[in-house]
Amino acid sequence: MSTSASALAIEKQVELLTGVEDKYGGIILEIEKYMDSEVFLSLLRASLSQRKQQGKRAVWIKLPIEFVNLVEPTVKEGFKYHHAETDYLMLVKWIGESADTIPNNASHRVGISAFVMNEKREFKRRVASSKEQVSGNSPTGVVDEIDTEFVEILAFRQSHQSFFTKSDLLFMCMLRPLSFDIQKQDREIEAAQWMSVDDYAEQPFIQKHDSFRGVAKVCLTKSEKEYAGFSPVPRTTTASGKTSYLYFNSRDVNKL
């Protein structure tokens, strides 16, 4: 490509490298249209010097996987990988004068092991993937068709570096069934096998592994109504104004 053709391309496509500012003095450039890697490189260099003049400290580039041709030129301009999901790669370059304060990537996968306990100390459990997130809301649909309400986090388990460099956090959640009309209950018993907590805890495979035994002990204690886990209280965070949830032993706090 000749210099003048390249300059023309920049003129025409310059809006593609506009970005969205973040709260930390950074700018996020999202590439949404196919670009020739040479055109992209010219635009990127121009953007970097413009953003530096504006006093920006970090430049982020989100590259959808279909624009994989732009990964190599981006890295050659001094960008590092930050994180990736199936369909995109996020890269970042620190252009600030001060020391780099680029935030960490996610380090943990989060899973949920849901225990639904009814009034008769019977329960059933299901492990949910980390895509279904822990929240203070009722995790509708997590346990078959039963309407449930979130009670509390009974316990959690951390396993270090269980998957490449990532660690796992598994939250054991206690849920309470919301509706109990007979017809529904019959179907559920058939489909999902309610089991008494005692029968659950006495199973050989539970007794054999101390990890399962520990969880069963917590469930037994809970079924005797003597156990306080962590329950969520919605809190508004200060910086972003978004709602976060604080989980703590509210029984003990309210006793004071």
Closest distance to a second copy from the beta carbon of 116 (Å): 19
Which of 154, 175, 197, 201 is the binder for a second copy (CB under 8 A)? Answer: 154
Of the pair 75, 189, the CB lying nearest a second copy is at: 75
Which stretch in 1-9, 40-48, 150-158, 180-188 sits in contact with a second copy by CB under 8 A? 150-158
- Which of the residues 117 through 136 are near a second copy (CB under 8 A)? 129-131, 133-135
- Which of the residues 39 through 68 are near a second copy (CB under 8 A)? 65, 68
42 phi and psi, to 5 degrees? -65, -45
What tokens were used for 176? 């309470």
Q: Using CB atoms within 10 A of its CB, is residue 26 exposed (0-12), middle (13-18) or buried (19+)? A: buried
- Cβ atoms of 150 and 171 closer than 8 Å: no
Closest distance to a second copy from the beta carbon of 7 (Å): 26
Which of 50, 167, 203, 207 is the binder for a second copy (CB under 8 A)? Answer: 167
Closest CA to 90 of 2, 161, 173, 31: 31
- Which of the residues 70 through 99 are near a second copy (CB under 8 A)? 71-72, 75-76, 80-90
* C-alpha distances in Å from residue 16, one per residue of 11, 28, 74, 162, 172: 10, 12, 15, 40, 46
Closest distance to a second copy from the beta carbon of 66 (Å): 9
184 binds a second copy (CB under 8 A): no
Of the pair 1, 233, the CB lying nearest a second copy is at: 233
- Cβ atoms of 110 and 71 closer than 8 Å: no
One-letter identity of residue 187: R
- Cβ atoms of 146 and 116 closer than 8 Å: yes
Closest distance to a second copy from the beta carbon of 18 (Å): 19
Of the pair 187, 251, the CB lying nearest a second copy is at: 251
Closest distance to a second copy from the beta carbon of 149 (Å): 18
Give the per-residue contact string, 194-223, with a second copy (x = CB under 8 A; - = no). ---------------xxxx-xx-xx-xx--
Phi-psi region of 218 (alpha: psi -120 to 50; beta: other; left: phi over 0): alpha
256 binds a second copy (CB under 8 A): yes
Closest distance to a second copy from the beta carbon of 105 (Å): 6
Sequence-distant (≥ 6) Cβ neighbours of residue 191 within 8 angstroms: 144
- Cβ atoms of 206 and 218 closer than 8 Å: no
Which of 2, 99, 106, 190 is the binder for a second copy (CB under 8 A)? Answer: 106
